């Protein structure tokens, strides 16, 4: 078995985005085996198991990933993960990857794919709600598919806003209020909030939103009224209705699964998409095992080796 756990990573975002886009196209074909995440909960967080098999990419495996929001205070990442690759022909475990950083990258790549297909503009002001690793990778990935004129960042702690802007000083950037951050072309929400942060009246026609943070039951970042104004695209029906941005509005009868416009895979395949430039689009991202396998395949095939730090 191969082990990947060295101290630094060496993958290009361009390659990751392409691989994740291909994985969503495979999902559209209906031949991917991918049960929904299984959750085990603790007082301080949870861990999930995420299995999948992508015949078109000839890769199978399972990721085990935790989410512990209080880990920053412990000096640990909020999310840590391991992926086990399984040989489909024999069932033999063939590789074990530290997927902590890979999880960040594949989530950023999904946001980039959604933005590429659903944003009506390619020259954008990017708004970021949250300033952690998910915000960083959304920015890094989206910069590969759009020209970013300006970034606007909101975080609960002012020092985190300033640190984020310092890290990405190559961009014109502003630490702004929630409302001002939402005055943008593409908005990415990346917090673990369990109550809406983004108000309906702050969202303008023609915006695209990547709703990233809601990845477990009870989480939500958007005013449900935004969902009823927008065309909502999801990554997977079972996961999104159970644990995505739409999970709470559905449970409260404020949104219906019948209102879902389609999956990102269907958007990539050209079956669904934005209908006109003035409508609001939302990508509800819960994170799929197929994304993890797509990026794992790149790591395994990288001739120069891939360094994957832990934690």
What is the crossing angle of helices 289-301 and 100-118, to 10°?
110
Q: Which of 63, 219, 272, 297 is catalytic?
A: 63
Helix extents (H) in 186-288: 224-229, 237-243, 247-251, 264-268
Q: Give, to the nearest 10 degrees, the angle between helix 133-142 and helix 100-118.
A: 50
Number of CB atoms found within 10 A of residue 285's CB: 32
- In sign, the C-alpha dihedral spanning 193, 127, 285, 138 is negative
Beta strands in 19-136 (DSSP E): 38-41, 46-54, 59-67, 79-86, 93-98, 123-129
Q: Could you give the CA distance from residue 187 to residue 194 in angstroms, rounded to a whole number? A: 18
The position carrying tokens 């004129």 is 149
Q: How far apart are CA 277 and CA 121, in angstroms?
A: 9
Strand order in the sheet with 93-98: 2-4, 93-98, 79-86, 59-67, 46-54, 38-41
Is 63 annotated as catalytic?
A: yes
Instruction: Work out the widest C-alpha separation in the chain, in whole angstroms.
Output: 55
Under 8 Å between Cβ of 308 and 9: yes
User: Under a CB-based contact definition with an 8 Å cutoff, are residues 249 and 224 in contact?
Assistant: yes
| Number of neighbouring beta carbons within 10 Å of residue 131 | 24
Residues with active-site annotation: 63
């Amino acid at each position: 078995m191969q082990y990947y756990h060295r101290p630094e990573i060496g993958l290009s975002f361009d390659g990751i985005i392409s691989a994740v886009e291909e994985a969503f196209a495979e999902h559209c074909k209906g031949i991917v085996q991918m049960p929904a995440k299984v959750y085990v909960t603790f007082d301080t967080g949870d861990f999930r198991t995420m299995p999948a098999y992508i015949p078109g990419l000839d890769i199978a495996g399972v990721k085990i990933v935790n989410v512990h929001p209080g880990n920053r205070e412990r000096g640990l990442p909020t999310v840590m993960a391991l992926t086990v690759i399984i040989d489909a022909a024999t069932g033999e475990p063939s590789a074990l990857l530290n997927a902590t950083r890979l999880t960040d990258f594949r989530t950023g790549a999904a946001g980039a794919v959604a933005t590429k297909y659903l944003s009506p503009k390619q020259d954008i002001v990017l708004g970021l709600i949250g300033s952690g690793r998910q915000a960083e990778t959304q920015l890094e990935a989206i910069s590969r598919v759009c020209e970013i004129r300006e970034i606007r960042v909101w975080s609960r702690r002012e020092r985190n806003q300033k640190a984020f802007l310092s890290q990405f000083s190559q961009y014109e950037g502003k630490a702004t209020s929630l409302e001002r951050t939402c005055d943008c072309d593409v908005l990415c929400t990346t917090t673990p909030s369990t109550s809406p942060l983004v108000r309906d009246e702050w969202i303008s026609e023609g915006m695209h939103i990547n709703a990233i943070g809601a990845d477990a039951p009870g989480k939500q970042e958007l005013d449900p009224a935004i969902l009823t104004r927008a065309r909502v695209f999801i990554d997977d029906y079972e996961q999104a209705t159970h644990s995505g941005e739409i999970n709470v509005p559905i449970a409260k009868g404020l949104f219906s699964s019948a209102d879902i416009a389609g999956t990102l895979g269907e958007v990539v395949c050209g079956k669904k998409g934005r209908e006109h430039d003035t409508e609001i689009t939302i990508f509800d991202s819960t994170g799929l095992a197929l994304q993890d396998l797509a990026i794992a395949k790149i790591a395994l095939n990288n001739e120069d080796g891939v360094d994957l730090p832990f934690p």
